[in-house]
Amino acid sequence: MKKLLAFGLIVLSVLLAACERRAAAPRLEFKNTDLTGLPYAKDFALTDHNGKPRTLADFKGKVVVLFFGYTQCPDVCPTTMAEMSAAMKELGADAAQVQVLFVTVDPERDTRQLLSEYVPAFDKRFLGLYGTAEQTAAVGKEFKVFYAKVPGKTPGSYSMDHTAASYVFDKQGKIRLLARSGQGPAPLVHDLKLLLAQS
């Protein structure tokens, strides 16, 4: 009986703590996966397609959408980038407060020149990011992103298996969401509006 009572008190204290947290800061109802408080995916050090070194701090004050892909991807990458482009159009003037970043997982082929042609073709505000093989591996590890080369018929015709989702950061540079690919722009637009409404 004492054990049952003690367990009941623990459950009650947890519920009360949860209620206090909810009262202090109402939980946002995201359409995508809420990653608030995630202990990894904190930063990166790469170069953008204009040749400028970049970290997450460069985009403070904007909501950031970070996608890992490669320019020769036949399906997931162009689909995701097109969805992000559609989301930016739906956001209208608010799109100025959103920065989309495309991180290549294929630094061997995705040169600065190629990224500068591919990424802005979806939206001129989008930035392509690249690094050395070592820098790419470090960012992949920090964000727990899987990517691997799949051999083709010739050495240069390989493809890349990779994680097909985007990370979303709030204006303070804190990780907030994992956005799934292939769901259309509506869920992303919904969630970006929630994050943009926060100070």
| Binding-site residues from annotation | 73, 77, 162
Distances in Å between the Cα of 81 and the Cα atoms of 2, 120, 184 are: 58, 10, 11
Token digits of residue 113: 């020149």
Residues of the binding site for Cu cation = 73, 77, 162
DSSP string, 107-131: TTT--HHHHHHHGGGT-TT-EEEE-
Q: Based on C-alpha coordinates, what's the Rg of the chain?
A: 20
The β-bridge partners of 102 are 67, 128
Q: How many CB atoms lie within 10 A of CB 199?
A: 4
Token digits of residue 14: 């947890």
Distances in Å between the Cα of 186 and the Cα atoms of 31, 53, 77, 189, 195 are: 9, 32, 18, 5, 14
Token digits of residue 161: 């298996």
Token digits of residue 108: 């061997």
DSSP string, 131-176: --HHHHHHHHHHTT--EEEE--SSGGG-EEEE--EEEEE-TTS-EE
